[in-house]
Amino acid sequence: MQMLARDLMHPEVVTVPPSVPAADLTRMFADRGISTVAIVGPEGALQGIVTETDLIRRLTDEDEQPRAGWLARLLANPNIAAERYVRSHGATAGDLMTKEVVTVRPEDSAAHIARLMEEHKIRRVLVTADGKLLGLVSRSDLVRTLVEPASRSPANLSDEEIRRELLAVMRREDWASTGNVAVGVRDGVVEFSGFRHSEMVSRALRLLAENVPGVKQVVDRTLPRPVVFGP
């Protein structure tokens, strides 16, 4: 079964109010060896998040850089530059925090969380319900879902059930067209025949089949697609 956010999350998330001085927040990161602090209001409502990246920004902005040319300054968005200045020079946690926090619900799947992390290029997501913070899921927590228990055995599926499952998985992938490839299953051995689009597609198709429960072996008998010349 797909693991959910509630199964993966760490409930012990360090929280502070937005009024905490930036110096105290920095010391907290260093002393506790943490990488994330959630900013919450009086009623526990999530207001933002501060990560080690936000603190490192304070250092990067101290590095003197050549002044941008007049055209670059003319085209620059002053609001973006001003926001960066506030977040790198702010005096409180509320100044430093990122307000647009990527969150998930307790019932969201590990696959959904992984997609959010990839899309937003982040290392962690907060788990919330009704605006209240429940926990945190990091990339390392997602990696744990890839480690299958040693006691887990392949599902006891018939050849026809394996074939139906394999075709269903193929239809969900845009690259795995079933139009030119026939699928047969006998004694748990999957055999592809027909015409292949490319070597890379064949390789991906083999991996796709190997991940279907009950598949013991994959045999690829597809041929290169014939070249058709016009009149």
**Distance between CA atoms of 103 and 131, rounded to whole angstroms?**
10
- Percent pLDDT > 70 in the chain is 81
5-144 topology per CATH = CBS-domain (3.10.580)
Q: According to the 3-state scheme, what is the secondary structure of 53-114?
A: HHHHHHHHCCCCCCCCCHHHHHHCCHHHHHHHHHHHHCCEHHHHCECCCCEECCCCEHHHHH
CA distance 10 to 80: 33
Residue 152: per-residue pLDDT: 45
Instruction: Say whether pLDDT at 63 is over 70.
Output: no
| pTM of this prediction exceeds 0.75 | no
The answer to which of 47-51, 88-92, 216-220 has the lowest mean pLDDT is: 88-92
Give the pLDDT confidence score for residue 155 in this predicted structure.
57
Q: Where are the domains of the chain?
A: 5-144, 159-224
**75 — phi, psi (to 5°)?**
-90, -15
Architecture in CATH of 159-224: 2-Layer Sandwich (3.30)
